[in-house]
Amino acid sequence: MPSKGAPNMLPNVLPHAGSDHVPVLAEEVRELLAVRPGDTVVDATFGAGGHARVLAQDLAGSGKLVAIDRDPGAKPYFDRFKAGAGVEVRFLRGDFALVLSQLAGNGVKADAVLLDLGISSMQVDRPERGFSYATDAPLDMRMDPSSETTAATIVNTWEERELVTIFRRYGEERYATQIARAIVRTRAERSFTRTGELVDTIKLAIPTPARFGEGHPAKRVFQALRIAVNDELGQLEAALPAALEMLRPGGRLAVISFHSLEDRIVKRFVAAEAKGCTCPPDFPVCVCGKEPTLRSLTRKPVRPGAQETDVNPRAASARLRAAVKV
Ligand SMILES: C[S@@+](CC[C@H](N)C(=O)[O-])C[C@H]1O[C@@H](n2cnc3c(N)ncnc32)[C@H](O)[C@@H]1O
């Protein structure tokens, strides 16, 4: 399974011995989560189970691993993982924001929670999922194929200014305005149904030199659509407090992000929880009484070393942050 792509685009696991997988920053995740035998581990982005396999090893035959993924395509990987896990395992299909808050609401406690954000190559490598700009396919991009909004929904129905906003914000697309205008003009005649039609429209909307610039001209718009279709930032915002609630004191949270917006959400969350008091700065004394709930374990985000990016250049944009519940 290939790894995460040019900034934020591709999955973060490499092919290894056929069906086995090498996850990004695995050793660093392992050290920071410090899983011990008997622990309960939650892998909230199971994917192909690369990280789960590493963490299950640290359980050394005693403990529990809960795997979450919204994509039913992760289940066969889980079944394979389960056969050799050596510990109690469970697969919960659904959005991690919802599943984590349900687990927390039911009083389930964890010693380690991992979020490895973005899409996996099992998603990007299946053309029919519509994540890839490289192959003509239905304009879909849903991680959960039962959810309502597809990339086609957004491209065909969102207002031009909303398209500009997501292309700029989630894709950092320079030609957001031109591309959104071209989409709206094209869809007035016929709806978009295929990735190929969108790629052609993007190519025609941008200046000729930009078509041959760095990376594929549709890369940033596809990234933006994927983030919007799957509400990736909203999911993360909602998942972090639920994960914190689930953690036992001394329990650890690790998040790998591939986009600066995701990393900022994690950084701010950890900083706010580590600070405790939420009183306005001009209050002479604290009246809210809020105590710190997290201690950061990573002052700066952990990045993959040259050794990892040499083998897997597409892991280069990964940023890992971790914290311990106090
Ligand atoms: C980058 S992959 C994880 C790879 C995994 N760590 C491994 O080593 O194989 C991310 C996975 O998380 C899932 N995912 C992303 N966002 C999710 C969400 N909000 N809720 C549930 N699953 C999600 C995706 O479907 C994908 O399978």
User: Does residue 73's CB lie within 6 angstroms of at least one atom of ligand 1?
Assistant: no
> According to the model, what pLDDT value does residue 8 have?
35
Closest atom of ligand 1 to CA, residue 144: 25
**pLDDT tens digits, one per residue of 238-283:** 999 999 999 999 999 999 999 999 999 999 999 999 998 889 989 9
Give the phi and the psi of residue 18 in degrees, each rounded to 5. Answer: 75, -90
Q: Say if residues 24 and 308 touch (Cβ distance below 8 Å).
A: yes
What does the pLDDT look like over 145-200, one tens digit per residue?
A: 999 999 999 999 999 999 999 999 999 999 999 999 999 999 999 999 999 999 99
| pLDDT score for 4 | 36
Task: Please tell me the distance between residue 44's alpha carbon and the centre of ligand 1 in angstroms.
Answer: 7
**pLDDT score recorded for residue 5:** 34
In angstroms, the CA 229 to CA 144 distance is 10
51-59 mean pLDDT: 97
Beta bridge partners of 21: 15
pLDDT of res. 213: 73
Q: pLDDT band for position 313 (50/70/90)?
A: confident
Q: Which of 33, 143, 265 to mutate to test the pocket of ligand 1 (most atoms within 8 A of CB)?
A: 143
Does ligand 1 lie within 6 Å of residue 118's CB atom? yes
Per-residue b/e over 10-45, b at no fewer than 16 CB within 10 Å? Answer: bbbbbeeeeeebbbbbbebbbebbebeeebbbbbbb
Structure-block tokens of residue 139: 């304009």
Helix axes 160-171, 219-229, angle to 10 degrees: 100
Query: What is the 3-state composition of the chain as percent helix, strand, coil, each rounded to the nearest 5?
Result: 45, 15, 40
Q: Which residue has the tokens 């396919």?
A: 137
pLDDT value at position 210?
A: 80
20 — pLDDT class (breaks 50, 70, 90): very low
User: Which residue, by CA, sits nearest to atom 5 of ligand 1?
Assistant: 47
- Residue-wise pLDDT tens digits, 56-90: 999 999 999 999 999 999 999 999 999 999 999 99
DSSP 291: P
Above 80 in pLDDT, residue 44? yes
Burial label for 285, CB within 10 Å (0-12, 13-18, 19+), is: exposed
Distance 43 CA to ligand 1 centre (A): 9
Spatial CB neighbours of 270, under 8 Å, sequence gap ≥ 6: 294, 296, 321, 323
The rounded Å distance from CA 11 to ligand 1 centre is 9
d(CA 160, CA 163): 5
- The answer to whether residue 7 scores a pLDDT higher than 50 is no
Write down the mean pLDDT value for the chain: 92
Q: Are 110 and 78 in contact (CB under 8 A)?
A: no
Name the token pair of 155.
């491209």
Measured in angstroms, how far is the CA atom of residue 170 from the centroid of ligand 1?
18
Phi-psi region of 236 (alpha: psi -120 to 50; beta: other; left: phi over 0): alpha
Check if 171 has its Cβ closer than 6 Å to any atom of ligand 1: no
Six token digits for residue 188: 């007035």
pLDDT band at 22 (very low <50, low <70, confident <90, very high): low
* Distance from residue 16's CA to the centre of ligand 1 (Å): 18
Provide CB contacts within 8 A for 14, sequence distance 6+: 1, 2, 3, 21, 22, 311, 312
Of 100-109, 213-222, 302-311, which gets the smallest average pLDDT? 213-222
Q: What is the pTM of this model?
A: 0.92
Q: What percent of the chain has pLDDT over 90?
A: 85
Which residue has the least CA distance to atom 13 on ligand 1?
A: 45
